[in-house]
Amino acid sequence: MKPPADGRRILPEFTYEQLEKLFAEWGEPSYRAKQVWEWVYKHLADDFQAMTNLPKALRQRLGGEFILSPLEPVEELVSEDGSTRKVLFRLQDGETIESVLMLYPKRRTVCISTQVGCPIGCAFCATGKSGFKRNLRAGEIIAQVLHFAREMKPQVNRDEKPITNVVVMGMGEPFLNYDATLHAIRTLNDHRGFNLGARRFTISTVGIVPGIRRLAKEGLQVELAVSLHAPNDELRDRLVPINKGYPLKRLMVACREYIEQTNRRITFEYVLIDRVNDSIRHARELAALIGGMLCHVNLIAMNPVPGVPYGPPPRRRVLAFEEELRRLGISVTLRAGRGVDIQAGCGQLRLRELSKRGAADVKA
């Protein structure tokens, strides 16, 4: 369903209480909010006319003032094994974002974006190469999950959730769009609608210390992942420029405080880059940095990115790094690569689309 660019508001942007207030202002009974909420989040309606227990006049008014999705799919790539689907969406203002659906034997995970582009500029990331445009609205974040839920609903049993997990690991830094990100999670977690358990959400941050401290006070049992990628400041300054503002010592203090306040484990994400951060010495530095913490390390061999002068290490070096962490008592998982054949790494599809657009502009 192509979203209009006519100024209509995004209905999933509204909280349940805001819907109740809206219908009260319209002179409608309060139960209309419950009906619409269930159509959007339980029945996954993509058209107001499908909301058959609403009066026709109300459906028409809703359709005249709101849209159910601000996303237009413009390109979809499916991995050869069918386990990964990546979609490039166009927003109402013409900007584009990416989302990924990953299918596992018992899980259906959506990786969503929170910004158009990214301001962090990590040296090995495609998203940063496309620059930063703006934060996403809460409705634009929610709509990514609902899009894939609609796709998966016919393929699962009635008592199964079409989406089982949401990882906020796509384009952008979620803690630089904190309010919209938490709004989206609370909406999708709401038991009256989509009802996805809080522990089914993972928020990934590059290490925005104020965001980590703020999340610790939310009372939400979401999972927190911190993208580390280097065990010392000299290397991390080069790979993750935000480290100059939030160096490792400060970041580790915030992580330890988070664990102490929430009693929840942190996952440290570590992208292995050939001959940059993948030596046994780096593994030992990493173990010394996080040793004694309630944490887990998620090792990821880098996805190749056109135009980026880095690549994945050979398999033997990846396995040696993993084994050294285990030897030193660190809980670690080596994440299986997915979607390499469809450029599933963050930002690659959007970067390609922007390159095409730029080439077309030059020709014109």
CATH code assigned at 124: 3.20.20.70
The values of phi and psi at residue 38, to 5°, are -70, -35
221 within a domain of the structure (yes/no): yes
Q: According to DSSP H, which parts of 242-347 are helical? A: 248-262, 280-290, 315-327
Mean pLDDT of the residues in the chain? 92
Tokens, residue 29: 């009974």
Question: Among 67, 88, 107, which residue terminates a domain?
Answer: 67
Same structural domain, 63 and 76: no
Whether 152 and 145 have beta carbons less than 8 Å apart is answered as no
Among 294, 363, 303, 310, CA closest to 336 = 303
Dihedral over Cα of 158, 13, 225, 197: its sign: negative
Same structural domain, 47 and 88: no
Q: What is the pLDDT of residues 307-342, one digit of tens each?
A: 788 999 999 999 999 999 999 999 999 987 655 555
Whether 290 and 297 have beta carbons less than 8 Å apart is answered as yes
Q: What is the pLDDT of residue 349?
A: 67
- Confidence class of residue 1 from pLDDT cuts 50, 70 and 90? very low
243 within a domain of the structure (yes/no): yes
Same structural domain, 35 and 168: no
Same structural domain, 356 and 309: yes
Q: What is the pLDDT of residue 362?
A: 40
Same structural domain, 305 and 229: yes
Q: What is the pLDDT of residue 348?
A: 67
Same structural domain, 21 and 101: no
How is residue 160 annotated by DSSP? S
Question: Among 38, 67, 96, which residue terminates a domain?
Answer: 67
Whether 111 and 102 have beta carbons less than 8 Å apart is answered as yes
Question: Among 37, 67, 97, which residue terminates a domain?
Answer: 67
Same structural domain, 43 and 139: no
Same structural domain, 270 and 300: yes
61 within a domain of the structure (yes/no): yes
Distance, in Å, from the CA atom of 299 to the CA atom of 97, rounded to the nearest integer, reads 25
Active site members? 98, 346
Same structural domain, 99 and 55: no
Same structural domain, 90 and 58: no
More confident residue, 165 or 7: 165
Same structural domain, 130 and 213: yes
Q: Has residue 363 got a pLDDT over 60?
A: no
- Confidence class of residue 306 from pLDDT cuts 50, 70 and 90? confident
Q: Is the pTM of this model over 0.95?
A: no
Rounded mean pLDDT, 184-211: 98
Q: Has residue 364 got a pLDDT over 50?
A: no
Count of residues in the chain: 364
Same structural domain, 236 and 325: yes
Q: Based on the structure, what is the number of domains in the chain? A: 2
Q: Give 113's strand partners.
A: none
Q: What is the pLDDT of residue 118?
A: 93
Q: Has residue 286 got a pLDDT over 70?
A: yes
Instruction: Give helix 280-290 / helix 248-262 axis angle, nearest 10°.
Output: 50
Among 242, 233, 209, CA closest to 285 = 233
1 within a domain of the structure (yes/no): no
Rounded mean pLDDT, 295-304: 94
Domain housing 182: 72-361
Q: What is the pLDDT of residues 235-282, one digit of tens each?
A: 999 999 999 999 999 999 999 999 999 999 999 999 999 999 999 999
281 within a domain of the structure (yes/no): yes
Task: Report the amino acid identity of residue 242.
Answer: I
2 within a domain of the structure (yes/no): no
